[in-house]
Amino acid sequence: MRVFYLFFIMTSLCFSQSEPGCDWSFDYTASNATIAIQQSIEAYMECEWIENIFISDFDCPVWLGVFYYDDNGQEQCGGYAQWDNTQSFALAAWGDDPTTPEKDGFSFGDFYEFKLCVDGYEIDYMASDMSTDTPFTSTYSSNGLGNLITLDMEVPETCEELESCEIKLSENFINKKLLKTVDVYGREISTGENSGFVIQIFSDQTVSKTYRF
């Protein structure tokens, strides 16, 4: 198992050395944690003009960044990797450098915050779910392992910024229609209305359960 993780980490981190189009930067420090992103991850976004665009549908550069809060409460990038739709990959979350006075990385127990950079457009309205099954944790520790399970994004307004990306939609996806959105009590609500837990019911009898902020 340890040999598998070592190979997985080495090959995946080598893949993530290019630069995203968003204004992200981070410091390489003496410690880091590794977050696994499985090929089977449920990662999608919601736009006003279309529901549930899966990340695998984009035919343009997509980057995943992980963020922490510095001493001033400002979000800072702690690492990023280019999204790979063809295989599982890994994202390094870099730890704070104890030799510098400022916080320039993750501290023990920090939660992971995620953002996407889609063809240079930053998306930060995100909800995520991480595994807590051994050996994974949902918070940072040096040499720790994380496993991202789901990533749900909501892009405000009309997603016009993403129109430069060609979206590859399968025939099944095109024919799949959203029938209605209901709250936990079964009451129908309109798209974008209220925050909290909502359930979307589609024409192919599938449902999507999301939490809106």
Question: Which sequence spans correspond to the domains of the chain?
Answer: 2-166, 170-213
Contact 122, 22 (CB under 8 A): yes
- Looking at the DSSP bridge assignments, the partners of residue 199 are 182, 209
Res. 42: pLDDT tops 60 = yes
Tokens 């095109």 appear where? 174
Res. 140: pLDDT tops 90 = yes
Query: In this predicted model, which residue has the larger pLDDT, 27 or 11?
Result: 27
Beta strand 145-154 with 32-46 is: parallel
Res. 127: pLDDT tops 60 = yes
How far apart are alpha carbons 107 and 140 in whole angstroms? 7
Res. 90: pLDDT tops 80 = yes
Q: Across the beta sheet with 121-123, what order do the strands follow?
A: 75-82, 62-69, 113-118, 121-123
Contact 60, 164 (CB under 8 A): yes
Burial call 153-175: b when 16+ CB within 10 Å, e when fewer = bbbeeebeebeebeeeeeeeeee
The pLDDT of residue 6: 35
Percent helix, strand and coil across the chain, each rounded to 5? 10, 40, 45
